[in-house]
Structure 1
Amino acid sequence: MNFGWKFQLGEVKDGEKPELDDSQWRQLDLPYDYQLNMPWKKTANRARAFKEMSGAWFRKTFHPDKAWEGRQVLIDFEGMMYYGDVYLNGEKIGSTEYGYCGFECDVTEKLKYGQDNLLAVYTHTGVEGGSRWYTGGGINRDVHILIKDTMSISRHGIYVVSKKTDGNRWKVYTQVELRGDLLAKGKVEFQACIFDSQGKEVTQSDLTPTPSQSRLQLIEIPIREMEVVNPELWDIDSPNLYTCVVRMYVDGKETDRMSTRFGFRTIEYGKDFGFKLNGKKIFLQGIANHTDFGGVGIATYRRAIERQLKQLKAFGFNAVRCSHNPYPQVFYDLCDEMGFVVVDELVDKWSNDGNCWGGRESFMNIWPELMTEWVKRDRNHPCIIMWSLGNEMQHRENASGYMTGDWGVTTFKIFDTYLKRYDRTRPSTAAMYPARANGIRRADPGFRDTGNIIPPELSCITDIASYNYEYADYRRYKEYNPKLIIFQSEASVNDLITPYLRMDKASTVGLCYWGAIEYWGESDGWPKKGWNYSFFDHTLKAYPRAWLVRSCFVDEPQVHIGILDGEQKSIIWNDILSGRAEMSHFYWKPNLNDSITLEVSTNCDEVELLQNGKSIGVKHNNRKNDKVQNKLLWRNINWQPGKVTAIARNNGKEVARHELQSPGKAVRLKVEIENADDWKADGMDLQYIRFTAVDKQGIAVDNFEGELSLSILGEAQFIALDNGDHFTDQNFERTTTTLYRGGALAILRSTQKKGKVVVRATCNGLKTKPITLMTH
């Protein structure tokens, strides 16, 4: 139900009523993040990306099919931000207080057949202090209408667990969930079938009869176990997926069929080895980020998430921590398919205050329904290897849920018991703020006294001890409690590779870099619109420091040159982060004889740097000092136009090189189309087109700042034009922008009709030609 909605920003009296005249409202398709397209305002909350808080209305008229009568009809919302209410024909039928979790509305008895029905949705971004970061606003995830038999499986009603037995034999245990009252309406039976990735049936269960009655509202029915021999395993390098299809029969007639994907894989954790996947030690090289996607904001498109994961994969990342909320459902599908492991997280603080909860209803009142939705939705995904129940709550008692005076220990035990009611196959954790036992903080006297370096109480009772930063103290934490299985749930991007190098990788689980991709909100000051101490900008261009991280994450020999900016920038984040000099792209053209500093990242033994063919020195990689390892500096270089070449060697033999060529005058626009041959005409697929000013040799002129204008004809909608400037004052829905660092990124959305799309671009006299694309 994503198509054909009307939208109005702001409060609208009687917005839910069918008789309201919405003829002048904007027409659009979902998903849509309206907050990103509101004006940037200096007076607004910087944590919320300098966007004001607002409500908005969405309305859709639809005509129910006569064939739906007598069946069950559900409207499923995968999410909306931050909270919202849903109305059908003026009657309220559902609501949410936490738009990161989905919900469904049963409209079986409420539809009016033979006439138009109005679905109206009110959303609000929440109170200004209700989140510490940019949440966006609107119906940002998919909306579905589900037509089912009245005798059918419940929401997220299949649970599949595979367990290895002898040799390479696996048992598959399947459980199905059903409303208890349906058992009195006939003989109910279930059968499960397992299919491999090619669609070939591997095995099936016998029919499983159910009890004839139950007093439970929801009854869980275990289907007879199945055995699979020599399955293809799911892992990071070969993410093989299987499908479990469950059929429901009532009095011998099939009334429902539901499927879910899963994987055959084992996970193990231990204090001496950290984490093993299928018996093999894996160290998590991850990212921890909020769920926004650059120029589309929080609007959920499969393509937007896929391109993020592809870029991360190319730089050696293998893990994502979902900080600090459930991600869109398609994200987990993609991680299953692409071989990422995931730490799935429910919420930030266990509290209703302190910039951590934006709902109208108390989090502590509704956490059971949120946790149920979260775990049941996600538990079949093989990519998920750990549940995280919260983030940084022990630094103040009122962020720890129930006021039991033990810094969240009791609250966690209650939550964890509830969690493991629905899934016991994964360990649980909660990420710890940089603190000490009894809530001691960095600002407190004696924080660094050796006797005070004691881990927080909560981390000593979780299955996995997750710590945000403070990697230098993990050795002392282990001395205090040798049983700890340590995971660095947030590592500082500003510390670059030092947090990675200082981890005892043999015995710890891994680390996830905080804010590795720029995101909106949590700005440290106007006019910057968010967090940009990152490895990638929000269009996913890699900063040179991304190559430094890659030099650790990827084994192949590599070398990369970056220019070190002159200004030092210091920041404080969670009491602990001190900034460093920013590394830029090679995006400015120095004047002749300017003194510059070049920083070369490499995982090789040594690098020789040449300027216009003349050697300016050889430097060796100091692997004994984790502050300088893989980072080689050439200071006070007198710049000469031409070429800089870095030659990396191992044992005296060249194994990698990188060159930078200074550009001439910009003469044309270079066009890079990301998925020209795979643009689907499903109304949901995005196309990304990157424009770059180049000289006559095709070299990027990264200091060119001309004005780019676009026109689009054919089977596509214009979504955004994003120049990658984190200090922008421009709205992304404009078809004109100023090139930043010589480039910009256009985002188009296919229509539901296949055909030709023509894009025309103009930019300050640069040569251009029309771009012709096809949707398929």
Structure 2
Amino acid sequence: MMISFKKGYGLLFFISILLLSFQNTEAQKNGAITTARQTESLNKNWKFHLGSANNPEKDFSYGIVRNFTIAGGGGGAVTPKFDDSKWRTVNVPHDWAVELPFEYHKHFDVQSHGYRPVGGFYPENSVGWYRKKFSVEKEKEGQRFVLRFEGVYRDFKLWVNNNYIGGNFGGYTESSFDITDFIEFDKENLIVLRVDATQYEGWFYEGAGIYRNVALETFTPVHIPEYGVYVYAKVEKSQAKVVAQTTVKNQEGKIAECTVSSYVMDAKGTQVTPTRTEKLKIKNNETQQVEQNFSIKNPLLWGLNTPNLYRLVSIVKKDGKIIDNIETEFGVRTFDYNATTGFSLNGESMKIKGMCVHQDHAGVGSAVPDALVYYRIKLLKEMGVNAYRCSHNPPSKSVLEACDKLGMMVMDEIRVIGTGKENLDQFERLVKRDRNHASIMLWSLGNEETGVQNTDLGRRMAHTLVQRQKELDPSRLSTYGGNNGINFKGINQEMDVRGFNYHIKELDDYHKEHPTQPIVFSEVSSMVSSRGMYAKDSIKGYLPDYDLNKPGWGQRAEEWWKFTVDRPWLMGGFVWTGFDYRGEPTPFTWPNVNSHFGIMDVCGFPKNTYYYYQSWWTDKDVIKIYPHWNGHKAGDKVNVWCNTNADEVELFLNGKSLGKKTMPRNSHLEWDVIYEPGKLEAVGLKNGKTIRTAVETTSAPYQLVLTPDRQAINADGNDVSVINVTVLDKQGREIPDAMNLIQFQLKGNATILGVGNGDPSSHEADKCMDGNWKRSLFNGKCQIILQSMEQAGEFTLTATAEGVQAAAVSIIMKK
């Protein structure tokens, strides 16, 4: 990760900036390291308006004015004189698709994208225009300036000061543009983007707009270029051999003589290696690379519970002065993939307990702020997940930064396999951007490419990508998510690690035929359920919240996990999916608008299967019984499940024992209980320790409760507060089937980003564009997400509902 005086990127960048405060040996020699390199967030105050994919009059004359004919001669919305005063002001990350109402369409692609009216059938909603003004001080003249877009969905064109700069085709690929020649100093500068989301890339919700961070980077003409530092470590006995490759580019207009110095620091800021220095003489517009080697004695290893990170400090000096400085975090660890004994991290054998994850969240769509990314990955860690698959596209940088810091391994994945100029360039940018991250365990070269995966064309493309990956990053291996079972020909021939998507019955035969190829479930399970529902409803689109239902290709949680732990050679797998996501409402269609695959819903509220995984993937004391004890009729037979890692469990109804059962490992317990209202309690014995849980019949809703993820957030304009809403009865018991409509009022220096409740069939607004923020509870829960402003202080959120006591919570914002 690059750490370079960033402004306002939320919790993760706040942590990064704190790291910069540590003193180091080089700084002591030369004074504080101050260079021209700066990174300024451009997330705030963009003007936005929908255009049109098929009507130039509604698209600000795009297509009929001369935007590409002569330099500085564009027309319509790209010109500085264009009046955008009636456009809406938005901050990025921004997803305009999540703001649109749901709309039924019979076409599969609209269904799979969550019935949001964006794409080829909706030209009036599929183009968006963004305009942003910024200024640059005269003192910076002579520097280089680069605009960086971490993610724009999808195909966009960029103008600066009425000059066409370029574009980016991939909706998930980071892009950057050198705009040095177009900067006006001490004057207003204008950035204009036309974003076209007409063409889908995936078969799932993808959003629309500038949905990741934007920044302006400034540095000297002699500098470390984009992705110009690569560092990795090999562990040899009690030492780590660190290899650092640093590239320097000269854009000074003449031959430049400089030095590159590098050393390694630990997380406390202590220099742990000598400084290595190389002299360079670089012609104009050329680059040179140096390789420097270090040794760290008794290194602190990066692991799941001890995510230790080091920092490579790279310093460029010219005429004895520091002109560029980059600090790159990396980890020292060893991944081993063995076709006989399975997977190990730092010599410790373990199963990959992974989850596939799409990038959208309730309330915000695909525009997920950095701090919310951190929140989601923390939820996965609490479940016992140790690996995150980026399904099926390159992740945001914040995903990898959070995984580095929290101790979560990552399978980093491209959107589509291909070796044409566009796809190969996207692949190379992905590897170069991400290769320094400690968390990345595997590169995934694609997913279910049914058109080519069994063909020689697929094999040739895979061969090219694997070879290029090893050139750019020799420290890791590659895999591919194949849904072609026992088939070895095509893409699978080239894979270091064979990725199986499902096809569980063919796995043993494949292993016998290919005993030297390590195997992982790149995708598995696809069990479907709806949080808090206990009966199938094919009209409204709900499934029982048990580990019972699966599509034809899938497996129940218990089924695949038992299969996996019984095979030492099988490395583990990635469950489809960690969270529900928009689109793919299998096995239903309208009115369903999001999936049922998640172990958590779109808000991150756990479904019951969460506790199955937590029981067997963690050492926590886990005991959970369900269903809740409301809504049944006296005399009904209720199937009660218990997920626990206790040795034995006894079930009680209103104090009467219903029997004691021994817990089979990696399984669950069941009782058929004749319903009567009251208290159903499970008492477990684990290693001689009593653990217990209960569900009770509740009375009428009495009081709302607001539960924030944190009591204080950063007043940086980017940090977020996730506040979950529940309702209690008069006895203080949470009501699990409450469906009250909640109204929200906000006072203070914050903005509301969105609301959600995890209901896969809800058509309520995620973004209340009229300012009247509200959301219904779904089975007792909903969620509201707020973002800080840049002023210290506090904000107060109040929640009200008809017939119940209101609740309020205050959050402090700290500078």
In structure 2, what is the equivalent of residue 341 of structure 1?
409
Structure 1 position 557, deviation (Å): 4.7
* Preserved contact between residue 739 and residue 780 of structure 2 (Cα < 8 Å): yes
In structure 1, what is the equivalent of residue 343 of structure 2?
275
In structure 2, what is the equivalent of residue 112 of structure 1?
184
Q: Deviations 1:77-118 (Å, cap 9, x if unpaired)?
A: 111112212111222213111121111111111012232111
In structure 1, what is the equivalent of residue 225 of structure 2?
154
In structure 1, what is the equivalent of residue 205 of structure 2?
134
Amino acid at match of 1:173: V
Q: Distance in 2 between matches of 1:555 and 1:113?
A: 59
In structure 1, what is the equivalent of residue 27 of structure 2?
none
In structure 2, what is the equivalent of residue 70 of structure 1?
142
Structure 1 position 182, deviation (Å): 6.2
Amino acid at match of 1:632: L
Q: SS at 1:419's partner residue? A: helix
Q: Distance in 2 between matches of 1:314 and 1:254?
A: 44
In structure 2, what is the equivalent of residue 668 of structure 1?
703
Question: Equivalent residues in 2 for 1:392-431 (5 A)?
Answer: 392-393=448-449, 395-397=450-452, 405-406=455-456, 408-431=458-481
Q: Distance in 2 between matches of 1:407 and 1:286?
A: 30
Kindly indicate whether residue 794 of structure 2 is the aligned counterpart of residue 756 of structure 1: yes
In structure 1, what is the equivalent of residue 5 of structure 2?
none
Structure 1 position 333, deviation (Å): 0.7
Distance 1:202 1:622, change over 3 A: closer
In structure 1, what is the equivalent of residue 717 of structure 2?
683
* Preserved contact between residue 247 and residue 287 of structure 2 (Cα < 8 Å): yes
Question: Equivalent residues in 2 for 1:193-232 (5 A)?
Answer: 193-213=263-283, 218-222=287-291, 224-232=292-300
Q: Distance in 2 between matches of 1:180 and 1:760?
A: 56
Amino acid at match of 2:235: K
Structure 1 position 622, deviation (Å): 4.3
Q: SS at 2:570's partner residue? A: coil
* Preserved contact between residue 10 and residue 55 of structure 1 (Cα < 8 Å): yes
Structure 1 position 659, deviation (Å): 0.9
1:490 to 515, 519, 523: 523
1:698 to 720, 726, 732: 732
Distance 1:550 1:456, change over 3 A: farther
Q: Distance in 1 between matches of 2:680 and 2:523?
A: 36
Amino acid at match of 1:417: Q
Q: Distance in 2 between matches of 1:426 and 1:770?
A: 49
Gaps of 5+ in 1: 351-362, 438-454, 564-585, 624-628
Question: Equivalent residues in 2 for 1:339-488 (5 A)?
Answer: 339-350=407-418, 364-393=420-449, 395-397=450-452, 405-406=455-456, 408-437=458-487, 455-488=488-521
Amino acid at match of 1:42: Y
Q: SS at 1:101's partner residue? A: coil
Query: What percent of counterpart residues are identical?
Result: 27
Q: SS at 1:374's partner residue? A: helix
Q: Distance in 1 between matches of 2:253 and 2:313?
A: 21
1:499 to 548, 553, 560: 560
Q: Distance in 1 between matches of 2:283 and 2:136?
A: 34
TM-score by length of 2: 0.84
In structure 1, what is the equivalent of residue 680 of structure 2?
644
* Preserved contact between residue 293 and residue 305 of structure 1 (Cα < 8 Å): no
Q: SS at 1:615's partner residue? A: strand
Q: Deviations 1:437-490 (Å, cap 9, x if unpaired)?
A: 3xxxxxxxxxxxxxxxxx454324310011111223221101111112001011
In structure 1, what is the equivalent of residue 83 of structure 2?
21
Q: Deviations 1:246-300 (Å, cap 9, x if unpaired)?
A: 0112233321111110111122222122222111112110101211122211113
Moved more, 501-510 or 228-237: 501-510
Structure 1 position 349, deviation (Å): 4.6
Q: Distance in 2 between matches of 1:134 and 1:338?
A: 27
Q: SS at 2:209's partner residue? A: coil
Distance 1:622 1:47, change over 3 A: same
1:601 to 643, 652, 655: 643
In structure 1, what is the equivalent of residue 111 of structure 2?
46
Amino acid at match of 1:389: L
Gaps of 5+ in 2: 1-41, 53-58, 61-75, 119-125, 528-555
Q: Distance in 2 between matches of 1:519 and 1:484?
A: 33
Structure 1 position 68, deviation (Å): 1.9
Q: Deviations 1:544-600 (Å, cap 9, x if unpaired)?
A: 11111222212345321122xxxxxxxxxxxxxxxxxxxxxx385323333321111
Distance 1:750 1:461, change over 3 A: same
Kindly indicate whether residue 685 of structure 2 is the aligned counterpart of residue 617 of structure 1: no
Amino acid at match of 1:634: W
Structure 1 position 308, deviation (Å): 1.1
* Preserved contact between residue 633 and residue 675 of structure 2 (Cα < 8 Å): yes
Q: SS at 1:530's partner residue? A: coil
* Preserved contact between residue 629 and residue 695 of structure 2 (Cα < 8 Å): no
* Preserved contact between residue 705 and residue 741 of structure 1 (Cα < 8 Å): yes
* Preserved contact between residue 460 and residue 481 of structure 1 (Cα < 8 Å): no
Structure 1 position 619, deviation (Å): 3.1
Amino acid at match of 2:710: N
Q: Distance in 2 between matches of 1:66 and 1:526?
A: 57
Amino acid at match of 1:520: R
Moved more, 25-34 or 597-606: 597-606
Amino acid at match of 1:10: G
* Preserved contact between residue 558 and residue 648 of structure 1 (Cα < 8 Å): no
Q: Distance in 2 between matches of 1:365 and 1:286?
A: 32
TM-score by length of 1: 0.88
Moved more, 498-507 or 242-251: 498-507
Structure 1 position 210, deviation (Å): 2.5
Structure 1 position 181, deviation (Å): 6.5
Q: Deviations 1:711-731 (Å, cap 9, x if unpaired)?
A: 111110011121221211111
Structure 1 position 213, deviation (Å): 4.7
Structure 1 position 367, deviation (Å): 1.8
In structure 1, what is the equivalent of residue 130 of structure 2?
58
Q: Distance in 2 between matches of 1:195 and 1:587?
A: 56
Amino acid at match of 1:24: K
* Preserved contact between residue 497 and residue 552 of structure 1 (Cα < 8 Å): no
Q: Distance in 1 between matches of 2:322 and 2:220?
A: 10
Q: SS at 1:745's partner residue? A: strand
Moved more, 492-501 or 474-483: 492-501
Structure 1 position 184, deviation (Å): 5.3
Q: Distance in 2 between matches of 1:407 and 1:111?
A: 45
Q: SS at 1:210's partner residue? A: strand
What's the Cα RMSD here?
Answer: 2.0
Amino acid at match of 1:19: K
* Preserved contact between residue 39 and residue 731 of structure 1 (Cα < 8 Å): yes
Structure 1 position 532, deviation (Å): 1.4
Q: SS at 1:669's partner residue? A: strand
Moved more, 405-414 or 238-247: 405-414
In structure 1, what is the equivalent of residue 542 of structure 2?
none
Q: SS at 2:322's partner residue? A: strand
Distance 1:212 1:310, change over 3 A: closer
* Preserved contact between residue 234 and residue 242 of structure 2 (Cα < 8 Å): yes
In structure 2, what is the equivalent of residue 774 of structure 1?
812
